[in-house]
Every structure is written in structure tokens, then in C-alpha cells.
Chains A and B, each alone.
Chain A
Amino acid sequence: SQQGEEDPQALSIQEGENATMNCSYKTSINNLQWYRQNSGRGLVHLILIRSNEREKHSGRLRVTLDTSKKSSSLLITASRAADTASYFCATYSSGNTPLVFGKGTRLSVIA
């Protein structure tokens, strides 16, 4: 079963707006990761946040993690048409278990 659940399933915004995607998970984690997938391509790693971190930035990306609520959010600021893609959260549980992915959020950025 999937550990992470992204919300919303789909999001459509205008270029220049901010996009926020949320991820909820069920069990304790070692770290949480966000990935991006362009249509027909493989997934690309965006950012990793460890369980003892609360916020992390990378360029126009901002990720927060609230372990008490078992949730994370990905914020993309000043979105561009090229940000159109599906975004997935994935979690490593404590211990030697593999990464488990959610079903993803489809982001459409309209120019």
C-alpha cells in the first residue's frame, strides 16, 4: 500500500503564481523526498528533507515537514510553464525499507 498521499490530485495555475502541493503519510519516517516527472519521462529527484528538519529550500522550491501531523508540503514559487509535470512525494520509513511513493499531483502551469 502507498505510504504517501498527495493533495490535490491535480492543480492548474497561471504562470507567475505559486503552487503548493501537500503530502500526508502514515508511519514514522527517516526522510521524505519529492520528485518530478515530465510526461513520458523518468522521475527526477528534487529535494530530500530528513525527519529532524522542518524546512528546506532549493532555488524556487520550499519544502516543509511536520512529523507531528505526518505531513509535508512542496511550494514552487513564481511558477513557469516548464514546471508543468507530475510531482510525487516518497518516504523512507525507519529501518532498511525501500522508498514508497504516493500517487502524485499533476501540475499544469498556463502561460
Chain B
Amino acid sequence: NAGVTQTPKFRVLKTGQSMTLLCAQDMNHEYMYWYRQDPGMGLRLIHYSVGEGTTAKGEVPDGYNVSRLKKQNFLLGLESAAPSQTSVYFCASSGWAGELFFGEGSRLTVL
């Protein structure tokens, strides 16, 4: 049972490049989330989804886009990467008001 899988695990980008992070869950969860984690800042919510075809903005959505075309997948896109987006990105999934299951993280460096 894989749980929540994130790809890629590591990526280095140059400023202005674009990329997509993929999150896949096999628990049939309705809710999926993208967080970023920076030193001293804890986890901050970027975007989330309450079901297939839906997305909503979190605390820090600027510079990111998301899509939830299939229930099991939640994609996070950076259209034009900036150094401020250097971070560790975590995807998670859950049922309603339940515990979150996290992936192992994707470490992104923007030069």
C-alpha cells in the first residue's frame, strides 16, 4: 500500500523555468493538499481540493497553479519559478476532518 506518493523527490530549476509536481494517493480520499515547508515557518497551505475537479486557494497560493482532474492525483504547477519558491513541498490527503496522510516531500531549489 503506497499511500501518498510524490514525484519528483528533488529538482533544481533556473529562475523562470516551469515544472509540475505530481501527487498520487491510493486511499480513495476526497481531500488533497499541497503545503510548503520553510525553516522556521512550519507548514503553509498553498492550494487544496475537496474533490475531483475542484481546487481552492490556501494561505500562500501566488505563483502556483493546481489541477485535480482525477480523484487520485493532485498536480502542483509553477509557471515561472522564482528563488522565493525554493522550499520543500508536501502533498497530503484525507477524509473529511480526518487525519492527513503525507508524502515524503519534494525538495525544490530555484537558482
Contact = CB atoms under 8 A, between A and B. Distances in A.
Contact of B99 (A42, A48, A101, A102): A48
A88 B97 contact: no
B82 interface: no
A92 interface: yes
B74 interface: no
Given A31-B97, A98-B33, A42 B45 contact: no
Given A1-B59, A98-B31, A42 B102 contact: yes
Interface residues of B, number: 27
Contacts, number: 53
Contacts of A98: 31, 33, 45, 48, 58
A3 to B, nearest CB: 10
14 contacts: A2-B42, A31-B97, A33-B99, A33-B100, A35-B100, A42-B4, A43-B43, A43-B90, A43-B92, A43-B100, A98-B33, A99-B100, A102-B42, A103-B40
A60 interface: no
A30 B95 CA distance: 14
Contacts of A41: 104-105
A98 B35 CA distance: 11
B101 interface: yes
Interface string A25-47: 00000110101000011111100
A101 B102 contact: no
Interface of B: 4, 31, 33, 35, 40-45, 48, 50, 58-59, 90, 92, 94, 96-105
A68 interface: no
Given A40-B105, A43-B43, 18 more contacts: A2-B42, A30-B97, A33-B100, A42-B90, A42-B103, A43-B90, A43-B92, A48-B98, A96-B96, A98-B33, A98-B48, A100-B45, A100-B59, A101-B35, A101-B42, A101-B43, A103-B40, A103-B41
